[in-house]
């Protein structure tokens, strides 16, 4: 399983795979998800929905199963990750807060001990 970060969607839309130019790419994402090949996490969905653009509209049309919710196991991992980040002296509090507020910590926390590949 490949788990996609928001940058995969945003970069594709803004660069080489524009939604009107390369609709096959976007259709393939639907097909790949249905085949159990790709997914993402709820925090990425939230980031993409903030865009209020054609990408947000496309995300709204995806099956809800495309984005993994935070479950009890993931919540424990997220708590461990937050504790580690806050206890690591080389990171400023601003950097830690920024990391914990975005989707990246959810990607790392939710996928830490699973046999998946993260695509950023």
* pLDDT at residue 106 in the model: 78
- pLDDT digit string, tens, across residues 28-49: 999 999 999 999 999 999 999 9
Q: Is the pLDDT of residue 113 over 80?
A: no
State the Cα–Cα distance between residues 94 and 48, nearest whole angstrom: 23
The domains of the chain are located at 2-68, 72-114
State the Cα–Cα distance between residues 66 and 34, nearest whole angstrom: 9
* pLDDT at residue 72 in the model: 81
Work out the percent of the chain whose per-residue pLDDT is above 90: 61
């Amino acid at each position: 399983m490949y788990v996609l970060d928001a940058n995969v969607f945003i970069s594709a839309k803004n660069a080489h795979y524009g939604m009107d130019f390369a609709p096959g790419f976007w259709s393939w994402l639907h097909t790949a998800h249905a085949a159990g090949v790709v997914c993402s996490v709820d925090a990425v969905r939230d980031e993409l929905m903030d865009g209020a653009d054609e990408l947000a509209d496309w995300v709204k049309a995806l099956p809800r199963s495309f984005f993994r919710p935070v479950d009890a196991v993931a919540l424990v991992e997220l708590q461990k990750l937050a504790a580690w980040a806050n206890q690591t002296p080389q990171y400023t509090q601003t950097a830690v807060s920024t990391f914990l507020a975005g989707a990246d910590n959810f990607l790392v926390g939710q996928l830490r001990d699973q046999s998946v590949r993260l695509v950023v």
